Amino acid sequence: MSRKRPRQSIPSHVEFEMDTSDDNCDELVAIPNPDNSGCSSDSDSDFESNDHLSSITYKQASENYTDNQCKLEGDHQYKWMVGEKSYPDETEDKLLLTDGVKKNIQKSEPIQLFEKFFCMEMKTYIIDSCKENGFELQLDDLNTFIDIIIVSSFNKRKSQRDYWSTDPFLLCEVVSSAMQRDTFEKIKSELKYLMPKDNDPSDKAWRVRKLLQLFQRNIRQFGLWKTALSVDEMMAKSYARTSLKQFIRGKPIRFGLKFWGLCTADGYLLNLDLYCGKTSSIGDKLGKCALGSRVVMELLDPFLKSIPPKKISQFHLSCDNFFTNFDLLVHLKKLGLQCTGTIRENRVKEKNVIDKKSPRGTYVVKHDQNSGINYITIVDSKPVSIASTAAGVTPLLPSKRFSSSAHSKIEIPFPQAFHLYNKFMGGVDVHDGHCNNLLPSIRSKKWTWVVFIRFIQAVIVNPVVIFNATGDKTKKIGSKQFAISIAKYYLERGKLKRNKAHDTFRHSKQARCSICPIRTYTYCKDCNAYFCSACMKAKHVIRLRG
């Protein structure tokens, strides 16, 4: 029998050496103790023996969830040891799509990708909802309505009615020729996203819940196609009078609707949910667990159910200190999912004692022997703590920080876990930034309108991100270019309908055409629009003057 090679342990402590070669720079470097030779102390000699928790499948774990449990892993015993738990430096953001899927995405036109996410079923549900609430809406009118909203995201006006203004400095011919102003305002006021049978008093978001579920299904159609994931909150600006409106002090958007989002590192939205209050039921169970843990498990739920347990270990989740706690990290590690996130001191019983006046770059590290969690605290502009089951301290990687004594940026070695967090955490913010760049100038006081607009923004951003990720890096497209292509398609489609033979009759009422001096006009029953009698062949829609 071959002898097993002894596994090398991580040093149980490190020494700090100050580099004083530059009088204007105080740089602290952490180096291993040379006398240690990579071997841990006697008290730590066995900490490698319990590297992994007893793993279980998500199906087994979810069946054991109850309404009364306060923690995901209430029976876990923490055994904190000085030093780090070593992890291989293999955490990357890998693309998991097959070559066939990549080719199909690259061959697709923007409108085809758009309608993969804003599918016909969503449009049909909106039309049926309007019909149930006493308003007849045609599919072509809905497409033109969406087209005008998209146009207003890159062709902005101060007021909605400016798009139909008779002033040539304000008029937008593309919008005014696509649909009459009164027709647009009628659709906007009567647009519904619910059926009377969907009424659920226990759900504050029941007015958009069915549409949200259809949207969630569409954005999940490619599965987890990248391995680096992040969870965070998103704010959609709104001053609507609703109990769903949130206020967050110090944020760029203080008032609005809060969404929970799961994204890839490059900004592809994988899952979305509307925040309906702390006491609202996010899932069927885990009602007493921490809100951050409940949100993370609910967003991951459809993917953990569909991914084979052996493949979960290739994914890595990043989250900020609102979500991160040791209980969540232990549970995800048990399911096979790696996680890294900043953590608040008031959520940790085991403290990393560190002097706030220590030089920037000073750190303290501990690890839980039973779960492999690395708990690291480092002095940056202030002490910051991070917990990770994917990375530790080594290798130390340089980070640039401004030095007041040197009056310039200097490189300071930071633990690998911090670099991993900074690299993959910003996915939700990237998606939110893309959506804000596509914010339509047409607004409404209804909170359901804000949700509807967020859907339109997301179904433009998602195709752009996945198209750029699967194609040549030198031939990327922007979200504005993508939106213009979609708007052109719907506009041309609307023109084809308007250019057919019109079932018109002469109107006895006198009016003035904005193009011709003729005062008579005809009315088309098919288009629900007025046409000038003189320029009927040019299909100029009349704009009446009061």
How buried is 167 (Cβ within 10 angstroms: 0-12 exposed, 13-18 middle, 19+ buried)?
exposed
**Dist CA 244 CA 455 (whole Å):** 17
Average pLDDT score over residue span 305-310: 91
Q: Is the pLDDT of residue 107 over 90?
A: yes
pLDDT tens-digit readout, 135-165: 999 999 999 999 999 999 999 999 999 999 9
Average pLDDT score over residue span 381-397: 91
Average pLDDT score over residue span 298-311: 92
pLDDT tens-digit readout, 438-493: 999 999 999 999 999 999 999 999 999 999 999 888 888 999 999 999 999 988 87
Q: Which of 135-144, 147-156, 349-358, 366-375 has the least mean pLDDT? A: 349-358
Strands 316-319 and 228-237: parallel
pLDDT at 388: 95
Average pLDDT score over residue span 320-346: 94
Average pLDDT score over residue span 15-36: 39
pLDDT at 20: 39
CB atoms within 10 A of CB 474: 5
pLDDT at 99: 93
How buried is 85 (Cβ within 10 angstroms: 0-12 exposed, 13-18 middle, 19+ buried)?
buried
**Dist CA 382 CA 467 (whole Å):** 40
pLDDT at 251: 83
pLDDT at 90: 76
Q: Which of 127-136, 250-259, 507-516 has the least mean pLDDT? A: 507-516
pLDDT at 525: 52
Average pLDDT score over residue span 247-269: 92
Residue 199, SS3?
A: coil
pLDDT at 528: 52
User: Tokens 């497409």 correspond to what residue?
Assistant: 143
| Amino acid found at 435 | C
Nearest in space to 242 (alpha carbons), one of 436, 453, 449, 440: 449
pLDDT at 68: 84
Average pLDDT score over residue span 100-112: 93
pLDDT at 498: 58
Q: Is the pLDDT of residue 397 over 60?
A: yes
pLDDT at 28: 36
Q: Give me the chain's average pLDDT, please.
A: 82
pLDDT tens-digit readout, 189-248: 999 998 888 888 888 999 999 999 999 999 999 999 999 999 999 999 999 999 999 998
**Dist CA 323 CA 293 (whole Å):** 6
- Token pair for 196: 């009377």
Q: Is the pLDDT of residue 21 over 60?
A: no
pLDDT at 335: 94
What are residue 80's DSSP bridge partners?
368
Higher pLDDT, 514 or 219: 219
Q: Is the pLDDT of residue 517 over 60?
A: no
How buried is 537 (Cβ within 10 angstroms: 0-12 exposed, 13-18 middle, 19+ buried)?
exposed
pLDDT at 429: 94
Q: Please give the backbone phi and psi of residue 11, each rounded to the nearest 5 degrees, phi first.
A: -55, 140
Alpha-carbon separation of residue 86 from 211, 276, 361, 373, 451 (angstroms):
45, 40, 20, 10, 44
Of the pLDDT bands very low, low, confident and very high (cuts 50, 70, 90), residue 255 is very high
Nearest in space to 458 (alpha carbons), one of 152, 107, 118: 118
What ranges in 25-170 are assigned the alpha helix state H?
58-63, 99-107, 110-117, 120-132, 139-154
Note the pTM of the prediction, 2 decimals: 0.81
pLDDT at 197: 86
Q: Is the pLDDT of residue 23 over 90?
A: no
**Dist CA 399 CA 379 (whole Å):** 13
Q: Is the pLDDT of residue 526 over 80?
A: no
Alpha-carbon separation of residue 115 from 35, 127, 199, 215, 242 (angstroms):
64, 16, 28, 11, 31
User: Tokens 């146009």 correspond to what residue?
Assistant: 151
Strand extents, DSSP E, 333-405: 338-342, 363-368, 374-379, 383-388, 397-403
pLDDT at 146: 95
Dmax over CA atoms of the chain, in Å, equals: 104
Q: Is the pLDDT of residue 366 over 90?
A: yes
- Token pair for 117: 């996410």
pLDDT at 196: 85
pLDDT at 56: 87
What are residue 383's DSSP bridge partners?
379
Q: What is the DSSP string of 488-540?
A: HHHHHHHHHHHTSPP-EEE--S----SSSS---EEEETTTTEEEESTTGGGTP
Q: Is the pLDDT of residue 97 over 70?
A: yes
Average pLDDT score over residue span 307-333: 94
Give the 3-state secondary structure percentages of the chain, helix then strand then coil, rounded to 5: 35, 20, 45
Higher pLDDT, 282 or 144: 144
